[in-house]
Amino acid sequence: MRVLFLGEIVGRCGIGVIKNALKTYRRENGVDLVIANGEGATSGFGLGFQNALSLQHMGIDVLTMGEKSFFKLDMVEGISKRSSILRPANYPEDVPGRGVRYISVGERKVCIINTLGMCNFNNPHLNNPFLGTEALLNKIHTETNTVFYVFHASATAEKMAMGRMLQGKVSAVVGTHSKVMTADARILDGGTAYITDLGRCGASVSVGGFEPEHEIRKFRTSVQTRSHESWEKPQMQGLLVDVDDQSGKAIGVSPVRLDVAVEIPAPKNMEEK
């Protein structure tokens, strides 16, 4: 089985990257499953429900989220209608949506888990994602040995610790949120594919997908102004993972950093958070 994990899709440039590149890439590379983080797809801050549907129409099977899961209010209702959009599993039970999803890929049943890290997020309602994992995996392993863990976290140490805790227990641990692709893709002992951060789909030469001049001004003045999406050197970034169909172990990892031509529309300011 070949799985493509994509880094956070940022703004219209990111959506353009997916629209222009993904279906062809899927076909040419024999990709069976595409999992992407979508929480910045709508103007860089959240994921509107219609954008989510469009991205899935463009070839993404499962969208994961993070601390911005409900920045766009229509997702509060929308997420319950679409089980292929995951919010962090370590939110309280009453939060709409789900964070664990089983999906069929050909003859195989696989499980996808999305959780949110604790460092640098002001979220008092979050459960510790390092706790309860053993019980959850014991339950999942009665259904499938192919498990993909998408960890949306800020601190590299937190993501690395999660990778080491889950090595040999899941097929892959991939990090999102930082939007900067790390150069540490590998297969950990026990057959777990790992990367600290998948990077981003969108402007690769930018500040997290945004125009540098506005982000620099924020740091220089501490005045929060609108971010402006960047269109500089659009790329599709992520990790291609090959998984053995029988054992569920990762047998290959290949970073993806694909230049994509995206047409720049008429100027439009980013929506403020």
Told to check if 66 binds Fe ion by CB under 5 A, we report yes
| Site membership for Fe ion, residue 177 (CB under 5 A) | yes
Q: CA 248, 249, 250 angle in degrees (round to 5)?
A: 120
Determine, following the binding rule CB under 5 A, whether residue 88 of this chain makes contact with Fe ion.
Answer: no
Pairing state between β 186-188 and 192-195? antiparallel
Q: CB of residue 106 vs Fe ion: minimum separation in angstroms?
A: 31
Residue placing its CB nearer to Fe ion in the complex, 111 or 150: 150
Distance in Å, CB of 62 to Fe ion, minimum? 17
Nearest-angstrom CA–CA distance, 178 and 249: 26
Stretch that binds Fe ion, among 63-71, 77-85, 129-137, 185-193 (CB under 5 A): 63-71
Helix axes 133-141, 156-166, angle to 10 degrees: 40
Q: What is the DSSP pairing of strand 108-116 with strand 200-203?
A: unpaired
Contact between 159 and Fe ion by CB under 5 A: the answer reads: no
CB 176 to Fe ion: min, Å: 7
Phi, psi for residue 143 in degrees, rounded to 5: -105, -40
> In terms of Cα–Cα distance, which of 111, 110, 80, 116 is closest to 98?
80
Min CB(177)–Fe ion separation in Å? 4
- Which region, judged by CB under 5 A, interacts with Fe ion, from 61-69, 81-89, 158-166, 265-273? 61-69
Residue among 159 and 177 whose Cβ is closer to Fe ion: 177
Q: List residues near Fe ion by CB under 5 A.
A: 66-67, 177
